[in-house]
Structure 1
Amino acid sequence: MYHCGMRQVGERHVPFQVDLMVWSNRLDLLALSNFKGEVQVHRLHWQKVWNLPPPKENISVQAMAWRPDGKALAIGYSTGTVYVVDIEDKEVIDQYELEQEKINCDDFDSLKSNGITCITWAVRSEILESATEYNLYDDASIFLQKIPQNGTYKNHISNDCAKDFKEVKEPTQLNMLLIGYATGYIYITIFGRYPYGTLNLSHMINDVGEHKILDINISDDFSIMQVLYLDKLTNNILLSFINTSVLSAYAEEFFTVAKKHGQITQLMSNLDQTMTSITEAWEHILLEMDAKMAYYAAAVPDGGVSADLLELHMLDYWY
Structure 2
Amino acid sequence: MPAFRQVGEKQLPNPVLCMAWSPKRDLIALANTTGELLLHRLASFQRVWSLPPSEYTGKEITALAWRPDGKILAFSLGDTKQVVLCGVEKAEILHVFPMQNPVTCMHWMEVVEESSALSSFYSSEDESKLFLPKLPTLPKSYSTTSKIFSEEKSDEIMNLLGEVRLNILVLGGDAGFVELYAYGMYKIATLTGVSGTCRSLSLSSDLKSLSVITEVRSADNNPEICYIQLDTGLLSDCLPEVTRMARKFTHISTLLQYLHLSLTCMCEAWEDILMQMDLRLTKFVQEKNTSTQVQDEFLELLLWGQSSPELQALLMNLLTVKGLKKLGQSIESSYSSIQKLVISHLQSGSEALLYHLSEVKGMSLWKQKFEPLGPRFSSYRRCDHSCGFIFSESQRTSAGD
TM-score with structure 2 length normalisation? Answer: 0.60
- Verify the 8 A CA contact 2:24 2:70 in the aligned structure 1: yes
Give the secondary structure class of the aligned counterpart of 1:192: coil
Distance 1:148 1:238, change over 3 A: closer
Query: What does 1:43-192 align with in structure 2 at a 5 Å threshold?
Result: 43-44=41-42, 45=44, 46-53=46-53, 55=55, 60-79=60-79, 80-99=81-100, 101=101, 115-127=102-114, 128-129=118-119, 130-133=121-124, 135-138=126-129, 142-143=132-133, 145-149=135-139, 154=140, 156-161=141-146, 164=149, 166-169=156-159, 170=161, 171-192=163-184
Q: What is residue 263 of structure 1 aligned with on the other side?
A: 251
Tell me how far 1:65 sits from its aligned partner.
0.6
Q: What is residue 304 of structure 2 aligned with on the other side?
A: none
**Given residue 50 of structure 1, which amino acid in structure 2 is its aligned partner?**
S
Distance 1:286 1:58, change over 3 A: closer
Gaps of 5+ in 1: 102-114, 203-209, 310-319
Instruction: Give distance in 2, aligned partners of 1:304 and 1:74.
Output: 58
- Verify the 8 A CA contact 1:147 1:273 in the aligned structure 2: no
Query: What does 1:232-251 align with in structure 2 at a 5 Å threshold?
Result: 232-233=217-218, 235-251=223-239
Instruction: Give distance in 2, aligned partners of 1:244 and 1:23.
Output: 27
Tell me how far 1:85 sits from its aligned partner.
2.0
Equivalenced residues, count: 277
Distance 1:34 1:291, change over 3 A: closer
Superposed CA offset, 1:73-120 (max 9, x none) = 111233443222222343333334333x2xxxxxxxxxxxxx322111
Distance 1:70 1:276, change over 3 A: same
**Given residue 252 of structure 1, which amino acid in structure 2 is its aligned partner?**
P
More strand by share: 1
Match of 1:213 among 179, 182, 198: 198
- Verify the 8 A CA contact 1:189 1:197 in the aligned structure 2: yes
Instruction: Give distance in 1, aligned partners of 2:274 and 2:207.
Output: 57
Gaps of 5+ in 2: 283-312, 326-401
Instruction: Give distance in 2, aligned partners of 1:163 and 1:217.
Output: 31
Matched, 1:281 2:269: yes
- Verify the 8 A CA contact 2:53 2:59 in the aligned structure 1: no
Give the secondary structure class of the aligned counterpart of 1:183: helix
TM-score with structure 1 length normalisation? Answer: 0.74
Greater mean deviation of Cα atoms: 49-58 or 180-189: 49-58
Instruction: Give distance in 1, aligned partners of 2:281 and 2:134.
Output: 36
Distance 1:288 1:183, change over 3 A: same
Instruction: Give distance in 2, aligned partners of 1:36 and 1:262.
Output: 32
**Given residue 183 of structure 1, which amino acid in structure 2 is its aligned partner?**
A
**Given residue 211 of structure 2, which amino acid in structure 1 is its aligned partner?**
Q
Distance 1:232 1:279, change over 3 A: same
Give the secondary structure class of the aligned counterpart of 1:131: helix
Greater mean deviation of Cα atoms: 265-274 or 56-65: 56-65
Tell me how far 1:300 sits from its aligned partner.
5.3
Q: Percent sequence identity over matched residues? A: 27
Superposed CA offset, 1:228-264 (max 9, x none) = 1223227332222211001100010010010011111
Give the secondary structure class of the aligned counterpart of 1:201: coil
RMSD of the alignment, in Å?
Answer: 3.4
Tell me how far 1:284 sits from its aligned partner.
2.4
**Given residue 82 of structure 2, which amino acid in structure 1 is its aligned partner?**
T
Match of 1:23 among 21, 24, 30: 21
Distance 1:222 1:47, change over 3 A: same
Instruction: Give distance in 1, aligned partners of 2:232 and 2:172.
Output: 16
Give the secondary structure class of the aligned counterpart of 1:268: helix
